Amino acid sequence: MRQYIRYIVPILIPLIIILLPASAFPVEGLTVIQQRVIAIFLLAALCWVLEPIPIYATSVVIIVLELLLLSNKGFFLFRAEEGEPHFGELLNYSDIMATFASPIIMLFLGGFFLAMAATKYRLDVNLARVLLKPFGNQPKYVMFGLMLITAIFSMFMSNTATTAMMLSILAPVIALFGAKDPGKIAFALCIPVAANIGGIGTPIGTPPNAIALKYLTGENLITFGEWMFFGVPFVAVLLVFAWFLINALYPAQQEKIELSIKGKFLKTPKAITVYVTFALTIILWLMGSTHGMNSYTVALIPVAVFSLTGIINKEDLKKISWDVLWLVSGGIALGLALDQTGLAKLMVHSIPFDSYSPYVVLLGAAALCLLMANFMSHTATANLLMPIMAALGTSMASLVPLGGEITLILVVTFAASLGMSLPISTPPNALAHATGHVESNQMARVGVIIGVVGVALSFAMIWLLHLIDHI
């Protein structure tokens, strides 16, 4: 029976929402179009939680339903009531379709090209080999080196790909630990933790960051360099805390370990092109205010260079994580519908948030996001919450002294990436659990503490930066 519920509930509840009269909703002034958006939102939420279909497929369904039910070029029966006072404004079909080619998608595409080229020409493995040398052979320091390198890679590569690579490097080392040596748990656990934390450091590190950028525009605009100015110190502090925590909970009994990573930097013309393009792209991202190009424009430079030189060929294109791009585009489309139909503002204004302390609102939003991110995709969590938080941030006057909309969005974004308590929370966690060296309760023990401390740290750092900004 349970397996049927996964399929029936996501269809049945949105269908009921569409068929109900507007008077059945506790919100005044709800239009037919907004009612349809509620149904699509619930469909997305239920499909992302219950996963009756792949989560990227849910995003495609969202966009198609919006085109059919909400757009000015949708099915004619769904546009029959247009012009009636309670029908609402239809969305432009081209705006909905444009979510597949949003600047956010281009930013991620550029990141994927960089990561693929780095892996193909062994830049990642060779950097790991060089960067690990200074950390010696004491387990706790080697582990810190591994966490640092994993976090750095995760800022520019997929967290999943980084974890898979680092765990493969670690496999022979973990095998050297005794059967009951806690160090085995520590080494297997430190990689996914560092990958999850490291992804917060840059806008392309993880999809929730890119989704947040969609709402950080105008006065709240954050450039690639400004994000790193805040994100990298956050990652550094939380990474050190995570290292201390894992060492305290699972101290290694073995006194020395040897990491043997073979390889050397390639010196072929294509490899050198990869090195130069990788470095140049990052420099251009960091110096956005100097050259005038935004991060989205810069992201297409490696796409052009690697395509032109054949570094990334048509076979490599098949390996791009198109599912992630589709998932993000579905979230952008959902946010577009909530914003342009006015539903997000209507929902926020229907609840007296201004009567609550802004600290309570911030804490509640972060706690909700952290809880959801532990049980469902981080990207899906950000997709669902971000448009509502953006509307809430602009409408709450009491949030202005604490940074307003930008504070709320950043806290929620960071909370989305800090959901790492379970094997199902993130792909890096699943990969680490699959090694057989980490049990679910051990992962939860570390994940819950890091999640709570990480949210508290994000509050402290945002408050500190806001305070410095007003001195």
Looking at 31-102, list the stretches that DSSP marks H as alpha helix, in order from N- to C-terminal side: 32-50, 55-69, 93-97
Rounded (10°) CA dihedral 287, 231, 300, 298:
-10
Q: What is the structure's pLDDT at 403? A: 61
Boundary of a domain, candidates 276, 304, 322: 322
Q: What is the pTM of this model?
A: 0.81
Looking at 136-268, list the stretches that DSSP marks H as alpha helix, in order from N- to C-terminal side: 139-156, 159-174, 182-198, 207-215, 224-249
In this structure, the answer to whether residues 196 and 172 fall within a common structural domain is: yes
Which structure tokens are listed for 384? 């669902």
Q: Which of 408, 406, 416, 407 is nearest to 451 (CA)?
A: 416
Q: Rounded to an integer, what is the distance from CA 424 to the centroid of its chain?
A: 15
* Packing angle of the helix pair 224-249, 207-215 (nearest 10 deg): 140
Structural domain total, the chain: 2
8 Å CB contact between 22 and 30: yes
The 10s digit of each residue's pLDDT in 114-123 is: 888 988 888 8
Q: Which of 422, 31, 417, 469 is nearest to 231 (CA)?
A: 417
Residues 169, 163: Cα–Cα separation, whole Å: 10
The 10s digit of each residue's pLDDT in 153-206 is: 899 888 888 888 888 777 777 777 777 888 888 888 999 999 999 999 998 888
φ, ψ dihedrals at 371, nearest 5°: -65, -45
In this structure, the answer to whether residues 114 and 136 fall within a common structural domain is: yes
138 within a domain of the structure (yes/no)? yes
In this structure, the answer to whether residues 194 and 141 fall within a common structural domain is: yes
Boundary of a domain, candidates 263, 287, 322: 322
Q: Classify 427 as helix, strand or coil.
A: helix
The 10s digit of each residue's pLDDT in 208-252 is: 998 888 888 777 778 888 888 888 999 999 999 999 999 999 988
281 within a domain of the structure (yes/no)? yes
249 within a domain of the structure (yes/no)? yes
Residues 444, 420: Cα–Cα separation, whole Å: 8
In this structure, the answer to whether residues 96 and 212 fall within a common structural domain is: no
Cβ-based neighbour number of residue 116 at 10 Å: 23
- Mean pLDDT for 264-284 is 90
On average, the pLDDT of the chain sits at: 84
Burial of 394 (0-12, 13-18, 19+ CB in 10 A): middle
Residue 392 C-beta-side C-alpha neighbours within 13 Å? 22
Which stretch, 13-22, 302-311, 377-386, has highest mean pLDDT?
302-311
Residues 42, 9: Cα–Cα separation, whole Å: 10
In this structure, the answer to whether residues 150 and 260 fall within a common structural domain is: yes
The answer to whether residue 81 scores a pLDDT higher than 70 is no
In this structure, the answer to whether residues 202 and 298 fall within a common structural domain is: yes
In this structure, the answer to whether residues 96 and 109 fall within a common structural domain is: no
47 within a domain of the structure (yes/no)? yes
232 within a domain of the structure (yes/no)? yes
φ, ψ dihedrals at 394, nearest 5°: -80, -20
pLDDT above 70 covers what percent of the chain? 93
Distances (CA, A) of 273 to 32, 241, 252: 54, 37, 41
Which structure tokens are listed for 39? 């149904």
The 10s digit of each residue's pLDDT in 401-460 is: 566 677 888 888 999 999 988 887 888 888 888 878 888 888 889 999 999 999 999 888
180 within a domain of the structure (yes/no)? yes
In this structure, the answer to whether residues 14 and 96 fall within a common structural domain is: yes
In this structure, the answer to whether residues 129 and 255 fall within a common structural domain is: yes
Which residue range forms the structural domain that includes residue 135? 103-216+223-322
At 65, the pLDDT band (50, 70, 90 cuts) reads: very high
Q: What is the structure's pLDDT at 415? A: 92
Element (DSSP H or E) covering residue 374? helix 358-375
In this structure, the answer to whether residues 11 and 160 fall within a common structural domain is: no
445 within a domain of the structure (yes/no)? no
In this structure, the answer to whether residues 245 and 201 fall within a common structural domain is: yes
- What DSSP character marks residue 258? -
φ, ψ dihedrals at 244, nearest 5°: -60, -45
In this structure, the answer to whether residues 159 and 29 fall within a common structural domain is: no
Q: What is the structure's pLDDT at 285? A: 85
- What DSSP character marks residue 92? P
384 within a domain of the structure (yes/no)? no
φ, ψ dihedrals at 91, nearest 5°: -85, 155
Return the exposure string of 158-192: e unless at least 16 CB atoms fall within 10 Å of the residue's CB, then b: bbbbbbebbbebbeebbeebeeebbbbbbbbbbbb
Element (DSSP H or E) covering residue 385? helix 378-395
Which structure tokens are listed for 125? 């493995």
Which structure tokens are listed for 12? 């049945």
